[in-house]
Amino acid sequence: MKNIAVIGAGTMGNGIAHTFAQSGFKVQLIDISEESLKKGLATISKNLDRMVAKEKITEAQKQETLDNITTYTDTVEGVKNVNLVVEAATENIDLKLKIFKQLDAVCSQDTILATNTSSISITQIAAVTNRPSQVIGMHFMNPVPIMKLVEIIRGYSTSNDVTKTIMELSKKLGKIPTEVNDYPGFVANRILMPMLNESIETLYNGVAGVEEIDTVMKLGMAHPMGPLQLADFIGLDVCLSILNVMYDGFKNPKYAPCPLLINMVRAGKLGVKSGEGFYDYSESRKAENVAKQFLK
């Protein structure tokens, strides 16, 4: 298994492409937008530059990694002759089902189809294909090149051979794969999202402020990042989407998203990617922070 296609050049997609390419795989990175592909490659190059600066890789290894990536805006062309497709598109069930129907129609019969979904049912995605035994979840953590965990999610029909193949492949990437079964939120988000949602509820109820909540969790619970800052980093729209999937799947009110989270997403306050969430990430605030550091 040497030829990999990755669908989606966004944060997760370019990180997955980077990781495979750096491990010596030939990667065909696919996105409908040429601009997104250019941005994704620029992000990969920038992240590789950081690794060169830290002497984790050489300049030659950086160039070899970039040379292993070819970009496509045509999915049919992009998935030719690949052994594995990893879908990393937006966390939207209708979009994912559409993509997997197309992949099933154009990929060779032996190709394994994986999704990086963080919460959507693998079984439901597999059901729109004629190869449910070859559909599996590969839930990478962000940032992909750094984080070691990959949740390997078996759908109802995922075969033992496919599961074993993807577990071994993940190890070749330097990751630690963990096999889980197909239930809403899997393991990572089933535990994480209620904690983030409860943190937002705590803010919503006026118990404490943003920085106070994050400080308690960082200093008191040894979390490297506070829950509200982490929600900003993940994307508040993504958090809302995952909570909705879990609420719909379990019909349990403990998974119902906080009204504050719903309103912030409606207002376009999505966290880091929009420039504002629970914290301000705007250019003016960045300049202010730089000035403060300079004056210290």
Give just the sign of the alpha carbon dihedral 151, 154, 158, 163.
Answer: positive
223 belongs to the catalytic site: no
User: Is 256 annotated for ligand binding?
Assistant: no
User: Is 56 annotated for ligand binding?
Assistant: no
User: Is 277 annotated for ligand binding?
Assistant: no
User: Is 171 annotated for ligand binding?
Assistant: no
User: Is 70 annotated for ligand binding?
Assistant: no
Among 68, 83, 87, 151, which one carries the catalytic annotation? 151
User: Is 13 annotated for ligand binding?
Assistant: yes
In Å, what is the CA distance from 222 to each residue of 176, 190, 215, 216?
22, 20, 10, 9
Distance, in Å, from the CA atom of 275 to the CA atom of 280, rounded to the nearest integer, reads: 6
274 belongs to the catalytic site: no
181 belongs to the catalytic site: no
Among 68, 83, 116, 118, which one carries the catalytic annotation? 118
Q: Kindly give the pairing relationship between strand 135-140 and strand 149-154.
A: antiparallel
Closest CA to 66 of 44, 51, 86, 83: 44
Among 36, 83, 189, 274, which one carries the catalytic annotation? 189
User: Is 271 annotated for ligand binding?
Assistant: no
139 belongs to the catalytic site: yes
Among 68, 87, 119, 139, which one carries the catalytic annotation? 139
User: Is 31 annotated for ligand binding?
Assistant: yes
**Non-local CB neighbours of 67 within 8 Å, separated by 6+ positions:** none
Kindly write down the DSSP assignment for every residue of 4-31, as one continuous string.
EEEE--SHHHHHHHHHHHHTT-EEEEE-
Closest CA to 82 of 28, 139, 29: 28
Output the known binding site: 8-13, 31, 91, 96, 118, 142, 273
Output the known binding site for NAD(+): 8-13, 31, 91, 96, 118, 142, 273
Give the active site residues: 118, 139, 151, 189
